Structure 1
């Protein structure tokens, strides 16, 4: 296992002390990508490793870096409904309106998966509710399609 693979394995396991140790010896790991194009920050958010994600941000991980599908860490936490980390990312400069390769924004992800608290946070940070994905659908369109009435009420 090379240093990058070991680093990603350590992130997945949630061992913050070992993450710190590895970054001390090899600071360039903070923005290395794995075979799927994930950055350490995206990977940490995907696995719900909030403390590691915050540490990586403090160590200057590129906050709006994208994976092979164009997804950012913010998109991942919105997909999962992690509002604490959503707010943390936004407070540290994450772009609330970036879209992935299919035009999906953090707000659209939140609406697709009925993550109402994430929707509220994103709207607070001026998410563009008129943005359309590659299918021409807005966040409101997804909320309506899925009968997520609370989100529909927020967006109308």
Structure 2
């Protein structure tokens, strides 16, 4: 009985080998070059006609990989060759969203010029503005607020950009400036979280005196 199984198993294994090899040989050379920041290799691959929207195992395009490495020159080359700035990977990052969250202002500017979707959301349901505010990226926030992005967009956690700047910020100069910018661009000062707690109440609870005063002066309750 063992011998009969072996007779069937060996041919089956040989039949599977091509499939295993095929799965293991899947590659995305353009993405790899972009991730390394290898501009000459990237340009060579583009000239050869390598698919610009190819994806690696994480679902990243070359543009996303270049953004991840903050390789601005490669980002510009890829955009010039028609790379989709709104293509999202397995965890719903796009070049625009990732650059916003990281504070890569020059890349955000490049993706905006190439038609970045201001309504695109990340895995938390947030626009590019929300993590930029949370992480204190003042220049990126300033740039995004000069667009038509929704300043009061609410993510899956029930938080706006203003709430995240208060709740997840450090209360220092960067987040204070971001709160000022948000208010100057019409953010609703009393738009509360799911528990009904307003930005001013959160600022007071966290001991952010200057931020609390700024919110109070803008009509916060």
Under TM normalisation by the shorter chain, which class is it? over 0.9
Match of 2:55 in 1: 33
Report Cα offsets for 1:41-69 as digits up to 9, x if no partner: 11110101111111111111111000111
Ranges in structure 2 where 5+ consecutive residues have no aligned partner = 1-23, 184-221
Indicate which of 91, 98, 104 corresponds to 2:120. 98
Q: Is the 8 A contact 1:4 1:32 kept in 2?
A: no
Indicate which of 48, 69, 78 corresponds to 2:100. 78
Q: Is the 8 A contact 2:55 2:61 kept in 1?
A: yes
Root-mean-square deviation over aligned CA pairs? 1.6
Mapped pair 1:57 → 2:79: yes
Match of 1:7 in 2: 30
Indicate which of 138, 149, 154 corresponds to 2:176. 149
Q: What TM-score results when the alignment is normalised by the length of structure 2?
A: 0.66
Q: 1:108 Cα deviation (Å)?
A: 0.5
Largest Rg, 1 or 2: 2
Q: 1:8 Cα deviation (Å)?
A: 2.4
Q: What TM-score results when the alignment is normalised by the length of structure 1?
A: 0.92
The structure 1 segments of at least 4 consecutive aligned residues displaced by more than 2 Å after TM superposition are 1-9
Ranges in structure 1 where 5+ consecutive residues have no aligned partner = none
Q: Quick one: higher RCO (CA 8 Å, sep 6+), 1 or 2?
A: 1
Indicate which of 47, 54, 66 corresponds to 1:24. 47
- Number of residue-to-residue matches in the alignment: 155
- SS of equivalent residue, structure 2 residue 78: helix
Moved more, 52-61 or 2-11: 2-11
